């Protein structure tokens, strides 16, 4: 029984502000501890449920947030960035179930620190619908024949997961009270619930179902600056749909993840360029 865990930071109990999730913020070190502890809860639950192997993918920001010496030594960890498949790196058809820990609501929606893959994206749609990181990664997992057994995070992403992923278990560790405000469980209670639900997800993974994989995928992204849209427009196949937005038709979830990574890296370049020019004037 092989279990895959993708862990983000914004959906962890006790985390609600940008100061906590951005490296260099005064709250970042504490957030690392909270993220590492919830990851351990999921690892422990996976082994409680019968896992023989667990692979963890550090999926937040620079993707080197977890404190490795404090992680359950039974698990292996993928970390660092860039990765070819981003938050889904390392997920292959050998795995029996995927667990998504610390996930959050998508760009343009309510939710604690809501965004989709990058804060540089003002909006993010797949086939016309607002899309979360969980839904994109679940689509990729489906191409490998791996169902999503657990999603943890705030009330918004848990509600989305229950409506979108048949048979999924969820752990709502906090309720959104704003972009940077939450009513949170204690970290100890959140870990207890995550461990229990991870164990149940692994024991009962046959009750979950794969997300449908569409024949074609249309990605639409709205940016914070026109320069970002202009840079991404230079990618072959991209169509500029407005001053601040682009669209591209894609053939597979693998292509989708690649286009997302290209877009947020170019958007980041645009943001740094604009910031540099503004500070010169």
Q: How far is CA 18 from CA 6, 121, 214, 258, in A?
A: 21, 16, 34, 26
Q: What is the DSSP string of 212-229?
A: P--SSEEEEEEESSHHHH
Q: Which DSSP state fits 240?
A: E
Radius of gyration of the chain measured on its C-alpha atoms? 18
Phi-psi region of 75 (alpha: psi -120 to 50; beta: other; left: phi over 0): beta
Tokens of 191: 């870990």
First to last CA, the chain: 59
- The answer to whether 115 is a known catalytic residue is yes
Task: Cite the active site residues.
Answer: 115
């Amino acid at each position: 029984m092989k279990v895959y865990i993708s862990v983000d930071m914004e959906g962890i109990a006790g985390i609600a502000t940008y100061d906590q999730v951005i490296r260099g913020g005064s709250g970042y070190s504490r957030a690392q501890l909270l993220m590492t502890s919830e990851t351990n809860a999921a690892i422990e639950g996976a082994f409680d449920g019968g896992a023989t192997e667990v692979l963890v993918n550090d999926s937040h920001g620079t993707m080197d947030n977890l404190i490795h010496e404090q992680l359950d030594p039974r698990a292996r960890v993928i970390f660092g960035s860039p990765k070819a498949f981003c938050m889904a790196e390392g997920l292959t058809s050998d795995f029996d179930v995927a667990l998504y820990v610390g996930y959050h609501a998508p760009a343009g929606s309510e939710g604690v620190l809501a965004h989709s893959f990058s804060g540089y994206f003002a909006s993010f749609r797949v086939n016309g619908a607002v899309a979360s990181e969980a839904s994109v990664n679940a689509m990729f997992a489906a191409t490998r024949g791996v169902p999503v057994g657990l999603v943890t995070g705030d009330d918004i992403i848990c509600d989305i997961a229950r409506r979108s992923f048949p048979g999924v278990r969820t752990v709502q560790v906090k309720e959104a009270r704003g972009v940077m405000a939450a009513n949170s469980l204690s970290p100890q209670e959140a870990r207890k619930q995550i461990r229990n639900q991870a164990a149940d997800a692994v024991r009962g993974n046959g009750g979950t179902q794969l997300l449908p994989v569409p024949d074609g995928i249309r990605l639409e992204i709205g940016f914070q600056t026109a320069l970002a849209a202009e840079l991404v427009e230079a990618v072959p196949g991209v169509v500029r749909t407005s001053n601040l937005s682009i669209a591209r038709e894609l053939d597979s979830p693998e292509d989708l993840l690649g286009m997302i990574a290209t877009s947020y890296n170019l958007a980041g370049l645009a943001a740094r360029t604009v910031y540099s020019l503004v500070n010169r004037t």
